[in-house]
Amino acid sequence: MKALTFHSFGDSSVLTYQEHPTPELQSNEVLIEMKAIGLNFADIYRRKGNYHLEGTPPYLLGYEGSGLIVRLGDAVTDLHVGQRIAFADVPNANAEFVTAPQDKIIPLPDSISYETGASVLLQGLTAHYLTRDSYDIRPRDLVLIHAAAGGVGQLLTQIVRLRGAIPIGLTSSQEKAAIAKQNGCEHVFLYSDDWVGQLHTLTNQRGVDVVYESVGSTLMESFQATKVHGTVVFYGMAGGDPVAIDPRFLMDTSKTLTGGDLWNVLTTREERIRRAGELFSWIQSDQLRLAPPTLFPLSDGKRAHDYLESRQSTGKILLIPSDESDLD
């Protein structure tokens, strides 16, 4: 089979599209012919060596995707060959064929395309647990969403509205502010402006009920924007490391700092299917809309990585394997 691999850490030039052994199937696994593969910033960080990778070169990136089951392990009983599936956390997905444990397989409804399945799971399941587990969104909550035009931000905005709350966005440009508003943000502020002061004016000095903080370096500003007894949900640091928080600060201000990690939520197959099923249901009923993905051939992975790092994209970037795959 063909795969997108790399032997050393570095920029996108280290990526090579080459022949690679088809993975061996274990008894509890299925072999998947990949149809669409999600590209995420975690892949960039792994390529650069910021994240630990197990094993030895050549390395394969990719954890999210969709495809067709073409072979079953001996112990797999409730899946079948020819079944359309997706996954959010299976390694080595940057290949024509991938093996996955059956407990990480999410069946794909007929009405959900491969492209949608590979686009929504990682970011959609993140937005799902953030609005359920990290902080349970209530009707009329004022909700501040960092990077509201980003992948998770767009889905967060829509889910917040689905739950009857009021999303307020933060973006880096007027163009991205327009995207945030299209997804349902009632107000959008720019990072380059005095957004904390603008929020205080908007809320009559009260502050918002919850902030979804994904920038990191803006953590203290997020606390300033939060009301007394409010909550800051920390789930990323795309803009740099956050400052250390003294617990006495939380006590003195009566504010809550919480966080979350998707892998502490997706602990069983039942959880994966239940949460993904709710996302699929919203998509089927047109309550949750995804920006059209940008497609690149898997063989053109270097250009896809460059495009993601340029931060020009507003929708998901997908890698599409060749239709000429075989099991050699």
Listed in order, the ranges of the chain carrying CATH 3.90.180.10 are 2-121+267-320
Task: Evaluate whether the domain defined by 2-121+267-320 bears CATH number 3.60.15.10.
Answer: no
Query: Residue holding tokens 């996302």?
Result: 279
Listed in order, the ranges of the chain carrying CATH 3.40.50.720 are 139-260
Q: How many Å apart are CA 310 and CA 317, to the nearest integer? A: 12
Q: What pLDDT is stored for residue 51 in this prediction?
A: 83
Q: What pLDDT is stored for residue 315 in this prediction?
A: 85
Instruction: For residue 87, give Cα distances in angstroms to 37, 119, 140, 168.
Output: 10, 10, 33, 31
Contact 109, 200 (CB under 8 A): no
pLDDT tens string 132-186: 999 999 999 999 999 999 999 999 999 999 999 999 999 999 999 999 999 999 9
Q: How many Å apart are CA 296 and CA 320, to the nearest integer? A: 6
Give percent of the chain above pLDDT 90: 90
Residue 219 is which amino acid? L
Task: Evaluate whether the domain defined by 139-260 bears CATH number 3.40.50.720.
Answer: yes
pLDDT band with cut points at 50, 70 and 90 for residue 72: very high
Contact 122, 40 (CB under 8 A): yes
Mean pLDDT of 282-292: 96
Q: What pLDDT is stored for residue 323 in this prediction?
A: 56
Q: What pLDDT is stored for residue 328 in this prediction?
A: 37
Q: What pLDDT is stored for residue 180 in this prediction?
A: 97
